[in-house]
Structure 1
Amino acid sequence: MDRLPETCLWPACVKTQPFDRQLDAAVAGGFDAIAVGGLTHDALKSQGMTGADIRALTEGKGVRLGHYDGFTDWAPVRFDDSIPPLAQSVFDFSTEAVLAICADLGLHSVGATGAYRPGRFSVNELADGFAAFCEQADRVGLWVDLEFIPFWGIPDLPAAWDIVEASGARNAGVLLDTWHFCRGNADLEYLRNLPTHAISAVQVAGGLTPSSGMSLIDECLTLRTAPGHGDLDITAVLGLLARQETIRSIGPEVFSDALDAEPAESVGKQMAEGLSYALEIMGRSHGD
């Protein structure tokens, strides 16, 4: 990784804050960009803001809008009924709606995942759907990052890379979340042998040890920490990510009950410190 990627604050870190305060967190942490999802876009539009207004608010604070956060309509189904209702609302946006939001806000990338039952579809079915969406995205200059999530349809890095590679898409790569990797199939040897152009985006987070009987999804949504804190050792995966040569974006995605109660600026600074910790292990520093 010869250059520092765009640094992105993912909304999970400040999910209880209104959008303008999310921007304040990004500013406090010195992030280049912030991701945004369809629910936030629609809420701001319902308040009377235009896309130009949203872009002006963001750019006026010295931040840019980067990723669309949470797209699933590339797959045969947007989500299974077993997906929690809040997640269903996040993912319930059509391909056409997401592309329109990206155009409205001037986004450069789409963060995609699969919210279906593991094993429900073949790799060929998924690769065909992903390729079709990537072709649409490419026509309007969008990059697509495919994220694996251990308790949903794309459970691990091999599954995500199989889809991306089979799709043949020239504008796509894998989004690796360190929490998802370490709390799922943490196959370091697979990551070590992965082509150096495979990972295009990274989300960083540590984690706390869950209580007995806690589900993985509940752990994911409440017990993450900034990198360098907590009990989850992410140093090995970060060290191997330094081998990846085409990472375009990196930033924290920390779902945390503790952070939800803190001021936006405090969260932004903590996330910046965590990102600096991660980048140092990867051989870079925040601000290079």
Structure 2
Amino acid sequence: MARTGEVRRRAGYDLTLWPACVRGYPLREQIAAASAAGYSCIAVNSATYVAALSEGLSGAEVAEIVKDHGLRVSWVDAVTGWLPVRYPPRAPELRDFLDHDLDIAFEMAETLGATSLLAVGSFDHATIPMQELVDRFGSLCDRAARRGLRVGLEFIPFWGIPTLRTALDIVAAAGASNGGFVLDSWHFYRGDPDLALMGEIPAGKLYAVQLADAALRIRGVNLLDDCLQYRCAPGQGALPLDDFMASVTRLGASDFGPEIFSSALDTLPAQQAAELCADATRVLLKKHHIAA
């Protein structure tokens, strides 16, 4: 563990642990696992943060734990409060995970020193008009800009912002200088995988890349089940991640990390899960000459 104040510095990129990889563990254990596995940053999910507060930790104490482990908080994860629908009505089991007021996200960013918010739209497709999405994303970016924060929009193929095309149109129409993209390899290949479309992402606007592999065909009862139970580490599935990475590297991304929702990964101790994900991610990055 690093000494207090001795925050691990990145070299060529930030390696971020997204909480999906250690989702079964409380925040303190997620932080310790990230540090032990050599990540430079950690994303913190609103639900995990709220749970930590309910267990007696203060936000300031969480921030100190992060610092003591030589990490930085890069992202506030799964921000849904910018929209009138914060969790999908047909998946009420996700309410505790997603249904959080926007004020919580900004409180987390201020308290933990996060630099970016991950905006997602977990509503049913076509239930919120496009112009409202543009207006609300622009308002979110304006509020974030006053606090020096970036906002990365993530598309998710089974919800209301399902493709990169849709996300591109929202960000472009909003026109916010601090609005950009988070690109997830699983979402890309399970949606509309148009590699040429990546070229439309403006320079400097790809704020983070989340990496996961999967089988070529969906597993489980539906796409949501496949997403939340059957992802795997890069190189352990059959997705053409080399093609994905070739496009990503041309965009100059510098924040990479595994986001692997997996019932198999859930059975591992937190540190082992974090290490497995980190090792596989580093192999892929090294293959594409992204220097550590």
Taking structure 1 as the reference length, the TM-score comes to 0.91
**1:175 corresponds to 2:182:** yes
Partner of 1:105: 112
Offset at 1:213?
6.5
- Inter-partner Cα distance in structure 2 for 1:27 and 1:96: 28
- Inter-partner Cα distance in structure 2 for 1:156 and 1:126: 14
CA contact under 8 A between 2:219 and 2:230: conserved in structure 1?
A: no
Name stretches of at least 5 consecutive residues in structure 2 with no aligned partner. 1-10
- Inter-partner Cα distance in structure 2 for 1:244 and 1:109: 19
What amino acid does structure 2 have at the position aligned with 1:135? Answer: D
- Inter-partner Cα distance in structure 2 for 1:80 and 1:226: 27
Aligned ranges for residues 122-271 of structure 1 at < 5 Å? 122-209=129-216, 214-245=221-252, 247-271=253-277
Q: Closer, same or farther in 2 for the Cα pair 1:23/1:160, shift >3 Å?
A: same
- Inter-partner Cα distance in structure 1 for 2:205 and 2:218: 35
Partner of 1:118: 125
Of 19, 22, 34, which residue of structure 2 is paired with 1:14?
A: 22
Offset at 1:101?
2.3
Name stretches of at least 5 consecutive residues in structure 1 with no aligned partner. none
For residues 15-64 of structure 1, give each alpha carbon's deviation from its aligned partner in whole angstroms, at most 9, with x where no partner exists. 11222221232123211111112221121112221111111111111112
Offset at 1:209?
4.9
Partner of 1:277: 283
Offset at 1:249?
2.2
- Inter-partner Cα distance in structure 2 for 1:46 and 1:175: 29
- Inter-partner Cα distance in structure 2 for 1:211 and 1:96: 36
Of 58, 82, 93, which residue of structure 2 is paired with 1:74?
A: 82
Computed over aligned residues only, the root mean square deviation of the Cα atoms, in angstroms, reads: 1.8
Aligned ranges for residues 38-57 of structure 1 at < 5 Å? 38-57=46-65
Q: Closer, same or farther in 2 for the Cα pair 1:126/1:267, shift >3 Å?
A: same
Offset at 1:96?
1.9
CA contact under 8 A between 2:232 and 2:260: conserved in structure 1?
A: yes
Percentage of matched positions with identical amino acids = 37
Offset at 1:277?
2.5
SS in structure 2 of the partner of residue 206 of structure 1: coil
**1:5 corresponds to 2:10:** no
